[in-house]
Structure 1
């Protein structure tokens, strides 16, 4: 194992770790957005149901 091979392995591991972190962050962001949209839809639905019953 030469120095070049060790550096190459470290670089590959670093790239894999970075991609994993980015993918994790994107997934968390998507979950947050989906959660927010679901809440917004639920709140709007409740609002319209109450509004239609009051009218």
Structure 2
């Protein structure tokens, strides 16, 4: 997998997740809150949200 070309990486950085060259991710509190809000506002399953956010 090419790090710079990954659609999931692009999505995560667009929502505010910091991704380091080692692959380590830093989830900002605002991003965590957005994920929780997505769950509370929709019928999406936790599994679906985890897949969307790459958790």
| Structure label with greater radius of gyration | 1
Higher strand share: 2
Of structures 1 and 2, the one with the larger relative CO (CA 8 A, separation 6+) is: 2
Higher helix share: 1
TM-score, length basis structure 2: 0.28
TM-score, length basis structure 1: 0.28
